[in-house]
Structure 1
Amino acid sequence: MAEEAVEVELSTQDLREVTAFAAACAEAVLEVFEADRPDDARPREAIGAAWEFARGGKRGKALRDTAWAALKAAKGADTPAGREAARAAMAAAGAAYLHPLPKATQVKHILGAAAHAARTAELLADDDPAVGADHVERAVGHATPGVVDVLTRYPAAPTGGGRVGELIRMLDEGLRR
């Protein structure tokens, strides 16, 4: 029987690549949150911090704080779509904290922003799963080879997680093809 890896090899560049993908996915639905809460900049700040890290900035407390702030903003959103858009921003900033643990749950750090963005699109279309599937396919098409390489170092996405979990698994399967 093969021995299970103790750690997944991850470089800072790997983290930057994953974070850039997540930030782009979240940015695509940011206006949904901002239409709900135009005076709340927390999700925009989280995406900005994610981009800053992806482009060479530090992975520090400010990045983590913006992720938590975006999560708090999600809780205060007026609509389900606004909540999902803010969660996409939280996941974008959180992508920088992908852990080198060989666990399926880490896949959420890679694909969470894209899944929340797809769920946002579904909710805007009266909960139409075809719209979410289309959003997933576009995200798969925008993922760089570096993102796919990092993803394939981890086990397949875990079960559970409701509709966002289903979207994560769709993304995971699409990127591993």
Structure 2
Amino acid sequence: MATEPGRIELTEHELREIAGYAADCARRVLSIFEQSVPADPRPREAIEAAEAFGGGGRRTNALRQSGWAAYRAAGEAVSPPAVDAARAACHAAAAAYLHPKASAHQVKHILGAAGHAARAQELAFAEDRHIAAGTLEWACRHAPAAVTAVLGRLPAAPPGGGRVGELMRELDAALRGRGRAHDATG
């Protein structure tokens, strides 16, 4: 099936797999946020909404609003690790809104939760880059086939974005390498 110029193919199944993956990445650092701001349920609610969509639920305005609520929670958090943990939750909900555009910006919808999760853990462990590397390794190992398939249809992760952008680019390169290795053997 041919697509319009500037657009990629994107199935509902792929979108659900990507949202579920993003939720898994964000859930790994939810405790960092909750230890810092125990009374704020917004990141947890965003992750749960992304998980519900990934599991077959509808893509509703409530899902979108939960992502924005997690974004606001990040803006109100004082602890830098908690900020990135809440941003991971925001990106998990936003993953459900990946667009079928052949744009490097769309890579952020796929890998934003993982990038912020890696940064949250790195910050929680005194800027230990080995911790972030371990988080990215986990994210690479646990990425479903839909993640690498859709990344293969998009340009590479864009430049910029500070340390989180750097982490997303590292994960993007690793996943694309995994996809090429699978194509060569598969």
Same fold (TM over 0.5): yes
Distance 1:20 1:173 in 2: 21
Counterpart for residue 127 of structure 1: 127
SS at structure 1 position matched to 2:45: helix
Counterpart for residue 103 of structure 1: 103
Q: CA deviation at 1:11?
A: 1.1
Counterpart for residue 26 of structure 2: 26
Counterpart for residue 180 of structure 2: none
Distance 1:127 1:6 in 2: 38
Q: CA deviation at 1:76?
A: 1.2
Q: CA deviation at 1:127?
A: 0.9
With 29-38 and 131-140 compared, the bigger mean Cα shift is at 131-140
Distance 1:107 1:5 in 2: 18
Counterpart for residue 183 of structure 2: none
Counterpart for residue 40 of structure 2: 40
Counterpart for residue 80 of structure 1: 80
C-alpha RMSD over aligned residues: 1.0
TM-score w.r.t. length of structure 1? 0.96
Counterpart for residue 152 of structure 1: 152
Q: Which runs of 5+ in 2 are unaligned?
A: 178-186
Q: CA deviation at 1:138?
A: 1.2
Q: Deviations over 1:52-83 (max 9, x none)?
A: 10011111100000000000001111200000
SS at structure 2 position matched to 1:173: helix
Q: Which runs of 5+ in 1 are unaligned?
A: none
Distance 2:137 2:48 in 1: 25
Q: CA deviation at 1:173?
A: 0.3
Distance 1:41 1:104 in 2: 31
Q: CA deviation at 1:133?
A: 1.4
Counterpart for residue 14 of structure 2: 14
Q: Which runs of 4+ in 1 moved over 2 A?
A: none
Percent identity over the alignment?
54
Distance 2:134 2:16 in 1: 26
Letter in 2 for 1:16: R
How many residues align? The count is 174
Counterpart for residue 161 of structure 1: 161
Q: CA deviation at 1:36?
A: 0.8
